[in-house]
Amino acid sequence: MAIGDRIAKHGATRFFSGFLRRLGKLPVLLVVIFLGSSLAGGTAWAQVVPPFIVGPPGNIFAPNTLKLVQVIEPPNLMDYVKDKNAAIALGKALFWDVQVSSDAQIACASCHFNAGADSRATNSLNPGFNKRFNAGPVNSTLTTAQYPFHQRANPAIQKSVITRNWDDVTGSQGVLLTRFDGIVPGQAVELGTPLPDPTFTAGATKVRAVTGRNAPTMIDAAFNFASFWDGRANNVFNGVNPFGPADSNARVFATDPLNPLTLTPEVVRMRMASPASQAVGPPLSDVEMSYRGRTFPIIGKKMLVLKPLAQQAVRSDDSVLGPYADTVSGTGLVTPITGAPLTYADMVAAAFKDKYWANATWKVTYNAGVGTPSAGAPALPTEFAQMEANFSLFFGLAIMLYENTLIANDTPFDRFQEGHVGVLSPRQEFGLEAFIVTGCDGCHAGPEFTAHNQIELQGLQPLSQNPRNTIAIAVQNRFGFVYEDETLYNVGVRPTREDLGRGGATPPGLDTRPRPLNRNRSFPLAYSTLSFAKLAGKLPDLPGGLGLATFTPDFPDNPPFTRRNDTVKGAFKIPTLRNAQLTGPFFHNGSAATLMQVVDFYTRGGNFPSLNARNLNPLILSISLLQETTPITPASNPYDDPANIGRPIGEVRQEAIVDFILSLTDSRVRDEAGPFDHPALTIPQGSAGPAIVLPAVGAAGRAAQSLPLLQGFLGITDYAQHIVP
């Protein structure tokens, strides 16, 4: 795609914010020389100007409406999917069904029920790096007074006195720590033996474990290039787990085309499928959804015979599941039109190609996680039918396709950029300008409001090739040139050593070679670290170019410009700002409760810029325009509000940015109108409750059912407060 075409399609800042972000990582002298020579007379530059000037109807420097951006699906998706609509229905059912968890009380949606995020306040603390609860005891209820976890006397000034510094995490509670002992066919609750959990025990009562990172929203997650905060949910889905081509042993089982009665192991490589990679992670986490030791084939063996959503009400006007709703019993799904009994096996058969589930004469057994097919139907608990063995493939792809429908592209901002008048207030328009001028759009770029998106990172590369823009070179003031994994940044929320983020690794054991890359047989997560190993010939590959070496992106320059990539340590994915009004708390550790607390963080240049100096993204600096104390006069009043007179202009800019971010809330998300409607769900909250009870919501939304609209974390309504009493 030509530069002019790209600007015309995605908006001026889709191109220029990424362009300037990369220029900002080069020495200033080189930037001046480049811009000077280009502006002086380069005809190529002159050809870029007209689309930049024309721009969208609202603000020509802002991104276009998200309605112009399509989710990029895996090119080979239909090699596996038979009926996309049936797969979406399966994905929505699985996402909201508590039967997926070992105790039949936790669904995927339990951590993503409020605008795609988790707003629970009771038993939502993880003690963090120091293993001690600082913000409150285990199983306590959080209040606004406990935020932010890192606080300054003057929140806008880096040198201001630190008055609070807690390393706790606002996470999501899952299951009680339990050893998996087996399943009872036809029952959702699994057999297990309780295990001691000193961290999550209140007095004599063991409570549900809490995750060590905050749950990001899954609305608009379809645009993510990689998923989870550290990007470990690979862009390339392997059909089995989150780790893509790093797991050389991951296989599904397909009918042998040369002998239709037999099964053959098959390698799956699906690019642009990070939501599928993410989806298959939590069901096996002994913190989130699983008793310890459970596997995906076991989940398949349990789930495939069950009635979908058997414990939960589904409205007949649900935007996806309405035709399946069991209006006779009041819970679960049945076959559309006929009302005949329905199982998850029926839904899988309707959604996916027969070659991945229809074989009934062979079985699969596992040894150390590696499956082997053999003749004979399964007869033992340790033997699995083809559909059971491939359940991770169905689960991941179905939930990905469901999440691909959850696109919040009808916000006031989107309508403003489409030319509608009066949809943004004067302060929000000023906030948008301040958002751009202060450089917020450098990272929260494009219509997605995160540069960590498919278009930005794949670049102009064909989808059959590795992404072009995943590795970038930056320049740090004190340490010089450094490679970084683009759009995964250390911004100084916590000291690097507390959570390595992108600088971490896959689980041990994936590297099964006689001479592994690391002692614990793991692989690095960071593309830049993997690229160094690839250059040295130390990455594995598979026949046909299906291994990790083939799928690891190359450096943008060869040979590499430097041997450093320290910035991947403590780095996390740039989150979207869409619907942020509803998706607090914020940051990967959930340490801020209001949007103003986030703005304060960036205004002062992070929390630990000195301690994290070797790892910090070089663009994390204090923002003088937001610190400016010049009083506003009638002549300088940015949007003619008399209340601004005499106030510091920096403070007014901060509040306006927060107000602009509120314009990124889609009213359908707040109302849970289709496609954001859902089945009923009861969500555990603390050892003594009360549980959160979500009624089933139909396509017309909450208001049509006389239900209140969604609120943000802790019911906060004034997002411009530095401290909420």
Alpha-carbon gap, residue 383 to 361, rounded angstroms: 12
Tokens of 707: 């239900």
Residue 49 CB: number of other CB atoms within 10 A?
A: 11
Which residue's structure tokens are 């295990």? 195
Give the pLDDT of residue 11.
43
Tokens of 702: 């909450």
Tokens of 473: 């070179």
Which residue's structure tokens are 């609070």? 164
Alpha-carbon gap, residue 270 to 250, rounded angstroms: 13
Do you find a cis peptide bond into 194, omega within 30 degrees of 0? no
The DSSP element (H or E) to which 362 belongs, if any, is: strand 362-367
Alpha-carbon gap, residue 598 to 418, rounded angstroms: 28
Alpha-carbon gap, residue 289 to 554, rounded angstroms: 36
Residue of 203, 133, 386, 398 whose CA lies nearest to 283: 398
Give the pLDDT of residue 725.
62
Contacts of 260 (CB under 8 A, 6+ apart): none
pLDDT, mean of each 10-residue run, the chain (725 residues): 36 42 36 30 26 54 96 98 98 99 98 98 98 97 97 97 98 98 98 97 95 98 98 98 98 91 96 98 98 98 98 98 98 98 98 97 96 97 98 99 98 96 96 97 97 95 94 92 96 98 97 95 97 96 96 89 94 98 98 98 98 96 97 94 96 97 98 98 90 98 98 91 76
Residue of 156, 66, 233, 56 whose CA lies nearest to 579: 66
Chain length of the chain: 725
Q: What are phi and psi of 63, to 5 degrees?
A: -65, 160
SS3 173: strand
Amino acid code (one letter) for 668: R
Tally DSSP H helices, then E strands, for the chain.
Answer: 19, 19
Which residue's structure tokens are 């009360």? 690
Judged on CB neighbours under 10 Å (0-12, 13-18, 19+), 39 is: exposed
CB burial of 540-556 (b: ≥16 within 10 Å; e: otherwise) equals: bbeeeebbbbbbbbebb
SS3 373: strand
SS3 192: strand
The DSSP element (H or E) to which 625 belongs, if any, is: helix 624-627
Alpha-carbon gap, residue 313 to 696, rounded angstroms: 6
Angle at which helix 3-10 crosses helix 12-23, to 10 degrees, equals: 120
Measure Cα distances from 165 to 21, 101, 498, 665 in Å.
31, 35, 13, 31
Q: Which residues pair with 33 in a beta bridge?
A: none
Report, in angstroms and rounded to the nearest whole number, the Rg of the chain calculated over CA atoms: 26
Amino acid code (one letter) for 35: L
Beta strands at 471-476 and 383-384: parallel, antiparallel or unpaired: unpaired
Residue of 216, 226, 218, 224 whose CA lies nearest to 246: 226
Q: What are phi and psi of 463, to 5 degrees?
A: -65, -15
Give alpha helix (H) positions in 358-420. 386-389, 391-403, 412-417
Beta strands at 162-165 and 150-152: parallel, antiparallel or unpaired: antiparallel
Q: Which residues pair with 567 in a beta bridge?
A: none
Answer for the pair 180, 193: CB distance below 8 angstroms, yes or no.
no
Dmax over Cα atoms in the chain, in whole Å? 85
Q: Which residues pair with 648 in a beta bridge?
A: 631
Residue of 667, 223, 278 whose CA lies nearest to 407: 223
Contacts of 175 (CB under 8 A, 6+ apart): 101, 102, 103, 105, 106, 208, 209, 286, 287, 288, 289, 290, 291
Tokens of 721: 């407060």
Alpha-carbon gap, residue 117 to 172, rounded angstroms: 10
Contacts of 91 (CB under 8 A, 6+ apart): 397, 398, 399, 400, 401, 402, 403
Measure Cα distances from 184 to 106, 314, 630 in Å.
18, 26, 70
SS3 563: coil
The model's pTM is: 0.93
Tokens of 200: 């999550």
Residue 204 CB: number of other CB atoms within 10 A?
A: 5
Answer for the pair 615, 570: CB distance below 8 angstroms, yes or no.
yes
Alpha-carbon gap, residue 55 to 65, rounded angstroms: 11
Alpha-carbon gap, residue 681 to 558, rounded angstroms: 53
Alpha-carbon gap, residue 458 to 441, rounded angstroms: 19
Answer for the pair 470, 485: CB distance below 8 angstroms, yes or no.
yes
Answer for the pair 671, 579: CB distance below 8 angstroms, yes or no.
no
Tokens of 491: 């911004």
Amino acid code (one letter) for 522: S
Range 554-557 contact pairs with CB under 8 angstroms and sequence separation of 24 or more:
554/466, 554/471, 555/471, 555/483, 555/528, 555/531, 556/468, 556/471, 556/472, 556/473, 557/473
Do you find a cis peptide bond into 559, omega within 30 degrees of 0? yes
Q: What angle do CA 494, 119, 507 make, to 5 degrees?
A: 50
